[in-house]
Structure 1
Amino acid sequence: MRTTIYLPDDLARVVEAYLKEHPQTNLSALVQEALEARLRRNPAALLELAGVVEKASVNAGEGAEDRLYRQER
């Protein structure tokens, strides 16, 4: 499917900067990846897309923040 979307100027600038930093991808691939992650409710994919983590050992439902706190003590 082909479609046209509107991006506000500030979001467009962020997207352009991301694509410059990641020349191996393009706008179509980026949008597809973001939609897949969002629509399939895949939090790990969203975090990876955001560059937060590649693979978390636990999810938030397992008290991940408490686990980290206990490890530091």
Structure 2
Amino acid sequence: MRTTIYLPDDLAHVVEAYLKEHPETSLSALVQEALEARLRRNPAALLELAGIVEKAKVNAGEGAEDRYLQER
């Protein structure tokens, strides 16, 4: 599918900056990755996309915050 979307200027600047920092990633690939993560309700993919966590040991429903405190 080919489509046209509108990005507000502030978001467009963030996207442009991201793509400059990650020249191996195209706009199309970035949008596809974000949509797949969001639409498939894959929290691990969303966190990885955000650069927060590559792979969590447990999910939030398993008391992840408690395990974090115990491991410290």
Q: Same fold by TM-score, threshold 0.5 exceeded?
A: yes
- Structure 2 residue ranges without an equivalent (≥5): none
> Which sections of structure 1, spanning at least 5 residues, go unmatched?
none
Aligned-residue Cα RMSD (Å) equals 1.3
- What TM-score does the superposition give when structure 2 sets the normalisation length? 0.93
> Aligned runs of 1:1-73 on 2, under 5 Å?
1-67=1-67, 69-71=68-70
SS, match of residue 11 in structure 2: helix
* Cα distance per residue 1:16-38 (max 9 Å; x no partner): 11101111001000000000000
Return structure 1 stretches of 4+ with deviation > 3 angstroms.
Answer: none
Figure out how many residues of one structure are paired with residues of the other and give that number. Answer: 72
Superposition deviation, residue 70 in structure 1: 3.6
Percent identical residues? 92
